[in-house]
Structure 1
Amino acid sequence: MEIAFVGDVMLGRLVAEELRRRPPEYPWGDTLPLLRRADALVGNVEFVLADDGEPWPGKAFHFRADRRAVASLESAGFALVSVANNHVLDFGADAALESLATLAQHGIRFAGAGANAEEARRPAVIRRDDLTIAMIAFTDNEPDWEAGQESPGVHHVPIDPDDPRAVALLDIVARERDIVDLLIVSAHWGGNWGVEAPRSHRAFARELVDAGADVVFGHSPHIVRGVEVYRDRPILYGAGDFVDDYAVDPVERNDRSFLFMLRTEAAIPTELRLHPTEIVHFQARHAGRHASEIADAMTQRCLALGTRAVWDDDERCLVIRILPDSV
């Protein structure tokens, strides 16, 4: 089985304008065949799918696309998405609930936000190859957006092992471990910049694996961070930006990322393939002539975490062996 992971997907603002004169498949560029090849596609929806709503006061950036943009997510084949992030309530609670309803109506399972705390904590579940795959999503961003017992919001969890919400998350992971075959924990954590994973993230990610996570899928930083393999489980500390309209930092290069393709045997992760991508005119594309430069930088970031990534010249991607005998 192959599960594809991409980082932040933002189809609002200039991307939304481009989509008004382009087909729904446009944002995925020449990565679309690879996205569609996956048995399941996972990502972070970094915008609101709604036609109404007022911008959240005091925020610098508000991301929204009209509900028709769900056709773009469908065209790529998104199966599981995180909505635990710092943009899901950009246009208020009603718009957020409209966005979640739109995803549900189109068969895209989401996790990390809801009409109340119970819904926000609830895993998203799909079936593939007679296996049950679940994803729990949380964020440490926007504490004011934390869902309450009767109020909508996000599954907010501070990266602090002593915080009751962190303890509760680990309990949810342990409980789901006994129910599902493959468990993903999506973490929208930390700030926007910096290639090194904070020590607190590394420690908490390992706790998540110890509790039962098969994959820790991190995002929020606009740049890609290294991958660690811990107890034969991959930890993606920062998947970067897959498609958006953001200004590009010439040093950190937030326009460069990867399509992460996880291969499994049954429900056991065996190999991770990192296909270099870049954003060109509001579109994700295979990196082409910049691929080796992007891969070299990632190789060093992984090496700093004790992970060996090797370039496959035939498929033009980095390969991380999760199990030593994987092929």
Structure 2
Amino acid sequence: MNRPSEENSVRQEFAYDAAGSIATNVADGFTMVAVGDLIVTRPLTKGQDQGFGVLVKILRNADVTFGNMETNIFDVRTFKGSPQAEYGGAYHVSLPELGPDLKAMGFNLVSYANNHAFDWGLEGMRETSRVLDENGIVHAGVGENLAQAGAPRFLETTRGRVALVSFATSFTPMSRACDPAGGAPGRPGLNSLRLKRSTVIPAEMLKGLRRVRSALPDSIPNRDDLDAVVLAGVTYRSGAKAGYSYQPDPRDVRAILRNVRQGKQFGDFCIATNHGHEPGNWSQEPPDYEQSFAHRLIDAGADAYIGHGPHRLRGIEIYKRRPIFYSLGNFIMDDLRTPVGADMFDAYGRDPRSHTDAEVTVSEMSEGYRTDPGFSDPVFYDSIVTVSRFEKNQLTEIRLYPIDLGHSKRFANRGVPRLAPAPQANVILERLKAMSKPFGTHIAIEDDTGIIELPPSSS
């Protein structure tokens, strides 16, 4: 008598769809609202902006409403931690009132693995997690060790149990979590996907760099690599087009795929989400590794892949009838942070004895993060709210609502979203349409709204 293999026995415990992924298992009418970065420093629902109130109605009218939590939450007057020497480009912080306000907006699921999660150290991360927990906002991506940071977290809804696996490719070096090993304890931090970057240049340029390397006193004799040159710690490779190439760490890939699989096995719907700025905020195209990795995540059980980080929109792909959002840009960029930290005064040549926090923030937004352009370009203030609807466990429609974050407004009123007026909405959707076309995605535009429709599946 033949006994089924262990692998087949395991597979029999889960339902698989026609594409070979663990099947979605939500009630008809399940909707997911997904937006990008939440850079918010004050409660907004009690304000007088009626345009924002219209968006809140969209956020509340969904089973799961997701955003990337890129702000720490605590009262700086009683806070026991301190701003860190390593920070994500700015010290993001908001008052504790933000917790109930995010809940009032409709958010019930947020990612927290990003380059700002440890701006205020371990104490800031723990306090933010506490506030989110107190307000019933499920979050993932950080923890007391890597196992906790990488683990799926679950949101219970009336139409299904939603798992979230959050990771980041852009993070400060000291914020990466690790597990215990030998006699050493684990390290609190975030769930990371480490990337090895190579700079791609034409072959003739590579020859020149090889000569430079050979002339340096620390070059290794008789060591020649025809495909790559390592110079001053930077790897250069030859290619037809200059740019950057990324290789994900296989250990991190394995762990993330496992956690996505586990999230789907214990849930009905699984979201995988990544915070990454690669190749830079200047790029409207995702890095070269991301498409294949997003596909692998969906193959492992993810029902949606949501990218954020570069603060600008990138294209949308539908893979195996599941949405891939390569970047949803900003949803709120209400960046009235105070205090900004002494290191930021130094970074932008300001003196805390004569300059204000706001003047430092304006300098940072106009000059940019390190070598990336700042936020003076209106493109960073154009974004969308996505509403994905599922019927019979299949994605049937995605609605895209263009939003305007008020680039032309004065500093104190900038960054709060509202539905974009018709001319601007059309510009946003046409740009998104062009960026999504290489992925085979067709976006129709009706009444200033983008629509991606999928025909009923025969499976």
- Tell me if TM exceeds 0.5: yes
Match of 2:230 in 1: none
Q: Does structure 2 retain, via aligned residues, the 8 Å contact 1:30–1:284? A: no
Q: Does structure 1 retain, via aligned residues, the 8 Å contact 2:155–2:163? A: yes
- 1:192 corresponds to which letter in structure 2? N
What per-residue deviation string (whole Å, max 9, x for no partner) do you get for residues 164-188 of structure 1?
0111111222233322211100111
Q: Of the candidates 285, 297, 305, which is equivalent to residue 208 of structure 1?
A: 297
Match of 1:262 in 2: 388
DSSP 3-state at the match of 1:293: helix
Matches within 5 A, 1:195-234: 195-234=284-323
Match of 1:312 in 2: 446
What per-residue deviation string (whole Å, max 9, x for no partner) do you get for residues 282-313 of structure 1?
31100013111111111111112211011122
Match of 1:33 in 2: 57
- Say whether 1:158 aligns with 2:191: no
What per-residue deviation string (whole Å, max 9, x for no partner) do you get for residues 33-55 of structure 1?
11111222101011101122321
How far residue 123 of structure 1 moved from its aligned partner, in angstroms, is 1.3
Match of 1:180 in 2: 267
Q: Which moved more, 1:156-165 or 1:200-209?
A: 156-165
Match of 1:302 in 2: 436
How far residue 255 of structure 1 moved from its aligned partner, in angstroms, is 0.4
- Say whether 1:144 aligns with 2:233: no
- 2:297 corresponds to which letter in structure 1? L
Which structure has the larger Rg?
Answer: 2
- 1:56 corresponds to which letter in structure 2? Q
Q: Which moved more, 1:296-305 or 1:141-150?
A: 141-150
Task: Identify unmatched segments of 5+ residues in structure 2.
Answer: 1-29, 180-185, 196-246, 336-364, 366-373, 407-412
CA distance in 2, matches of 1:213, 1:252: 33
CA distance in 1, matches of 2:170, 2:99: 24
Match of 1:121 in 2: 150
Per the alignment, do residues 85 and 28 of structure 1 end up closer, same or farther by CA in structure 2, a change over 3 Å counting? farther
| Equivalent pairs, count | 317
Q: Does structure 1 retain, via aligned residues, the 8 Å contact 2:401–2:450? A: yes
Task: Identify unmatched segments of 5+ residues in structure 1.
Answer: none
How far residue 28 of structure 1 moved from its aligned partner, in angstroms, is 3.9
CA distance in 1, matches of 2:249, 2:114: 22
- 1:34 corresponds to which letter in structure 2? I
Q: Of the candidates 56, 80, 83, which is equivalent to residue 84 of structure 2?
A: 56
Q: Which moved more, 1:272-281 or 1:53-62?
A: 53-62
How far residue 251 of structure 1 moved from its aligned partner, in angstroms, is 4.9
How far residue 272 of structure 1 moved from its aligned partner, in angstroms, is 1.1
CA distance in 2, matches of 1:252, 1:25: 24
Q: Does structure 2 retain, via aligned residues, the 8 Å contact 1:25–1:75? A: no
How far residue 266 of structure 1 moved from its aligned partner, in angstroms, is 4.8
- 1:262 corresponds to which letter in structure 2? S
CA distance in 2, matches of 1:25, 1:2: 28
CA distance in 1, matches of 2:104, 2:47: 7
CA distance in 2, matches of 1:155, 1:311: 37
How far residue 139 of structure 1 moved from its aligned partner, in angstroms, is 0.3
What per-residue deviation string (whole Å, max 9, x for no partner) do you get for residues 161-217 of structure 1?
552011111122223332221110011123333111122111111111111111001
Cα root mean square deviation, aligned: 2.1
Q: Does structure 2 retain, via aligned residues, the 8 Å contact 1:5–1:259? A: yes
Match of 1:95 in 2: 124
CA distance in 2, matches of 1:251, 1:226: 19
Normalised by the length of structure 2, the TM-score is 0.65
Q: Does structure 2 retain, via aligned residues, the 8 Å contact 1:275–1:317? A: yes
Q: Does structure 2 retain, via aligned residues, the 8 Å contact 1:227–1:235? A: yes
Q: Does structure 2 retain, via aligned residues, the 8 Å contact 1:145–1:153? A: yes
Per the alignment, do residues 312 and 172 of structure 1 end up closer, same or farther by CA in structure 2, a change over 3 Å counting? same
Per the alignment, do residues 153 and 275 of structure 1 end up closer, same or farther by CA in structure 2, a change over 3 Å counting? same
Match of 1:284 in 2: 417
Per the alignment, do residues 251 and 304 of structure 1 end up closer, same or farther by CA in structure 2, a change over 3 Å counting? farther
DSSP 3-state at the match of 1:257: strand
How far residue 128 of structure 1 moved from its aligned partner, in angstroms, is 2.0
Normalised by the length of structure 1, the TM-score is 0.90
- Say whether 1:237 aligns with 2:326: yes
CA distance in 2, matches of 1:250, 1:116: 38
Q: Does structure 2 retain, via aligned residues, the 8 Å contact 1:131–1:181? A: yes
